[in-house]
């Protein structure tokens, strides 16, 4: 266990950050999942920009790697193109 005040504060703040990042990532994963299950091309094209925005935000905050973000966006675009 930490002995310094600053270390205790770091533990508290990192826990808060972990929960926040977990929430953002889970929300984005659910949005990706719903986009993948869509069968209507026009609705999928309407939802796609918001999902891409969520993915870009995660990559910007280093919650996911930028290469993973680009791979996700590419695969989603390909899937929407095939609808």
Question: Within 13 Å and on the Cβ side, how many CA atoms surround 6?
Answer: 0
Is there a domain that residue 4 lies in? no
pTM score, whole prediction: 0.84
Domain limits at 58?
Answer: 13-82
- Compute how many other C-beta atoms are within 10 angstroms of the C-beta atom of residue 44: 20
Q: How many domains does the chain have?
A: 1
Is there a domain that residue 7 lies in? no
In which residue ranges of the chain is pLDDT below 50?
A: none
Cα–chain center distance at 6: 30
**CATH number of the domain within which 27 lies:** 1.20.58.110
Is there a domain that residue 5 lies in? no
Which pLDDT score is estimated for 49?
96
First to last CA, the chain: 54
């Amino acid at each position: 266990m930490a002995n310094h005040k600053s270390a205790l504060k770091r533990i508290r703040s990192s826990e808060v950050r972990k929960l926040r990042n977990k929430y953002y990532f889970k929300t984005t994963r659910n949005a990706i999942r719903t986009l993948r299950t869509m069968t209507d091309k026009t609705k999928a094209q309407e939802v796609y920009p918001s999902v891409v925005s969520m993915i870009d935000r995660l990559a910007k905050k280093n919650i996911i790697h930028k290469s993973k973000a680009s791979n996700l966006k590419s695969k989603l675009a390909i899937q929407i193109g095939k609808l």
